[in-house]
A and B are shown apart, each in its own frame.
Chain A
Amino acid sequence: MDLDRRLENVAVLGAAGKMGSGIALLLAQEMARLKIAAGCDKCYVLHLVDVSDVALSGLSGYLRAQLTKLAEKSIVALREGYADRADLVENGEIIQAFVEDALSVCRPTTTLDAIAGSTLVFEAIIEDKSIKLDVLKKVDSLCPDAYYLTNTSSIPIGTIDKGVPLDGRIIGYHFYNPPAVQKLLELISPAGVRPELVEMGTELAKRLRKKVFLANDIAGFIGNGHFMRDILHATSEVKRLSAEYGEAGAIYMMNRVSQDFLIRPMGIFQLCDYVGVDVCRFIMDVMTEHIDGETLEDDLLNRMAVAGVMGGQNHDGSQKDGIIKYERGRPAGVYDLAKGEYVMFADGDWTKKLDEALGSLPDGHAAWRALLMDAGKNEKLTAYFKNLAAADTLGANLAKTYLVRAKEIGEKLVSDGVANSADDVNGVMMNGFYHLYGPINEHVDQMVGAVR
């Protein structure tokens, strides 16, 4: 059965969740495209499974709104797609027709039995191995011929394959959040996987306009393999800095170093909040369980979680308060565990003192956003890193140590066989995390001596 045939009957498990809804959106578009090309009203079915009717109702609204936006953006191509429909003339009519075509493919349901016969099943339920296994066992009894694509960001795919068992009918298909926007897709092939499924996954990713990076089946894969260890480096620095600057102050400093001095899109603790403090902890637990000789656990994140500081996102995609407090989507404070409350940046001059302690940004610095679309960004980064290497402020030294550690983490992912090459590590971090440069880069070499 080829990909087009399998796309006739698809299911998304956990479809109303953060990742599931994005995956559902991508599939609804692709299946609508096939439906329009085939001129076939009943040929394509996309089962959207979730546990809550309320959440599924929200999903329908989300899909309608997003499909409309996407149709508006791709109107030139859509007009070509509907060229044979004489009744569809204006953009508004064509956009409406596409949205209805895509929604008519979708079948929201809270009943697992409804998906019987699906031939392609996307799994995006809670990141808990035992729950995943229970659900997939039930699904596989209903869909014995299905291929499975799991969005797990950490659990080794082989353990799921064996746990159900699925006999090589599953791959890791790790979208980045939000799936409809992020270009990166980590494709993980466990031992014994059917080659046809890998080919199919690659072809589908191309159709969904995703950039595929292959990762090997080791817990955390490339993206979280790097990110979680990056967090641990930052929290270890927080611990070291806390004695002098207080824990909240140290969090502020490391968040700023990781964003401003490293020219990243957001600070490390902001990224923690974006993913969710509890999700980060869970991923670390999974990695610890499956990786011999390494314990990924962090006291700071644990204490934050106990204090109820969780981060994550609201249904509308806005950021919830976490380690950082947000006002209009921007960091405005940091949670002080000792006080049990947020301390705001605008209150008093404490951040000013910390900024003074960090020192000024090295010459040649430009904000991440300014460099993002700059054709000369590589030259500018080279010049900046040279100045950073030569600088001897606290902020510069923290940044240098950070970069050296980030490179070590990246290189270990290659030597441990998680990634096939340094390019893959860099590619994942640049495409999935929007870093302007990969962690394994020559700029860091000039910093090693300075740090050690």
Chain B
Amino acid sequence: MKKFNRPIYVTAGYNTVSLGTGRKEFHPKKPRPGIEHYIEEAGRGALAQVNDASNIDEGVIANFMAPRFNRQGNIPALMPRIDPKLEYKPLVSVEGACGSGGLGLTTATKTVLSGMADTVLTVGFEVQNTVKAIYGADILGGAGHYASQRKDGHAYFFPGKFSDRACAAYEKFGYDRVREAMARWYERAILNARLCPKAQEHHNSIEDLFATGMTKPNGKAFCDCINVYDCSKVSDGASAVVFASEEGLKKLGVDKKDTVELVGYGQVVADVSKDPEDQTKLTTSARAAKAAMEMAGITTKDIGMLEVHDCFTIGGLLSLEAIGIVDYGETYDFVREGGTAPDGAMPTNLSGGLVGYGHYTGGTGVRQAADIAMQFTGRPDGQKLKEDPNKPFGLMVSMGGNDRTVVSCVFKKVQ
């Protein structure tokens, strides 16, 4: 197992509002901010927490499909809009579908580890409400294998893929058990999001969330085994964090107490053209999380909070098993019994996760890192983690496609 050649710190986390249906200020027919707005807000939000943009050595920007959603390529060249002092610096973009944000984190990490930079601004964004969801599904379908999967895929491509996973889970573990767990996941996501002013579901006022989550899937109208509440929504937003070495922190004028330490990561990629080996398992995510924890030298018992990629409720449930929080087949009861609640055995997705906070696809991985950093430095956007001194680690999983391009990171609270 390779180890870092020097400590890496993450600081200056910032998330924009996740805008889309559900937010009171969102109106599909009214003009909305474009990608420039989100990149600038997130980037400036991070830079406002360091002394000067001129002390940023390099930049990484993560995005999935701006060339189609926004007809914009040459993404790195958008970063100088954040601050003119970024102009003429080495800036790079990364793409790995919904795991783009995760790739942004590992790219920034490796840049610092290489010694070529001491400070790296990392931004992730997606602005997807430029097209109706039915056309957005085509664009997001690019996270699967176009040549072998799209033609026969569901109209809403990825909901179809995760519906297949839910079908398999129903069959293996019982419909009621799995369905109730999915509804509880939805309920918890919304309850957490209500406490986070920037979350897309912050304004959600549905009275009986569990009953809503239990809505029987209807294959004629949508998917056979998931309902719309099982899905993360279409979101516009961006997030940013700064990666730095010890020297970098000094250069930026950032105190270590305002950082978390990145102590391990796993970056694992599977063949996009292959179907999952087992629909009831996230095997690539499992490898990534295992690698991250091994590098960090921790076990799941050391983890105080999780940020998992619940693009669909079933995905959130399966990720708990992939990470090893529970054994195979136990995630359903664990979630039904409140295991992921803020006061549960494993506080998870405290700002709502993808279902509750929103899912600006290319930026979500950065949002997850920013949330963990903000939690462990005591200034979260939403509810605060009740920290356990024996569990000073936070783990995140950023997943691209149907468990294909995956990054898992382990962060440690700086004591």
Contact = CB atoms under 8 A, between A and B. Distances in A.
A349 interface: no
Contacts of B137: 91
B134 A90 contact: no
Contacts of B155: 75-76, 79, 91
B141 A90 contact: yes
Name the interface size band of chain A.
Answer: 10 to 19
Contacts of A86: 151
Contacts of B135: 91-92
Interface residues of B, number: 14
A86 B138 CA distance: 16
A75 B135 CA distance: 10
A72 B146 CA distance: 21
B150 A76 contact: no
B132 interface: yes
Interface in A53-83: 72, 75-76, 79
A89 B134 contact: no
Contacts of A79: 155
Interface string B54-76: 00000000000000000000000
B220 interface: yes
Contacts of B222: 76
A90 B155 CA distance: 8
A75 B151 contact: no
Contacts of B132: 72
Nearest to A74: B155
Interface string B199-225: 000000000000000000000111000
Given A72-B132, A79-B155, A86-B151, A91 B138 contact: yes
A375 to B, nearest CB: 13
A75 B137 CA distance: 11
Nearest to B223: A76
A92 B135 CA distance: 6
B220 A90 contact: no
Interface in A75-132: 75-76, 79, 86, 89-92, 95
A92 B138 contact: yes
Interface in B133-155: 134-135, 137-138, 141, 146, 150-151, 154-155
Nearest to A73: B134
A89 B138 CA distance: 9
A89 B151 contact: yes
A90 B68 CA distance: 13
Contacts of A91: 134-135, 137-138, 155
Contact of A89 (B150, B154, B220): B150
Interface in B91-148: 132, 134-135, 137-138, 141, 146
A85 B132 CA distance: 24
A89 B132 CA distance: 17
A91 B134 CA distance: 7
Contacts of B221: 76
A416 B298 CA distance: 86
Interface in B309-324: none
A72 B150 contact: no
B398 to A, nearest CB: 26
A75 B136 CA distance: 13
A224 to B, nearest CB: 34
Nearest to B155: A75
Contact of A75 (B134, B146, B150, B220): B134
B134 A76 contact: no
Interface of B: 132, 134-135, 137-138, 141, 146, 150-151, 154-155, 220-222
Given A76-B154, A90-B141, A95-B134, 19 more contacts: A72-B132, A75-B134, A75-B155, A76-B220, A76-B221, A76-B222, A79-B155, A86-B151, A89-B146, A89-B150, A89-B151, A90-B138, A90-B150, A91-B134, A91-B137, A91-B138, A91-B155, A92-B135, A92-B138
Interface of A: 72, 75-76, 79, 86, 89-92, 95
21 contacts: A72-B134, A75-B155, A76-B154, A76-B155, A76-B220, A76-B221, A79-B155, A86-B151, A89-B146, A89-B150, A89-B151, A90-B138, A90-B141, A90-B150, A91-B134, A91-B135, A91-B137, A91-B138, A92-B135, A92-B138, A95-B134
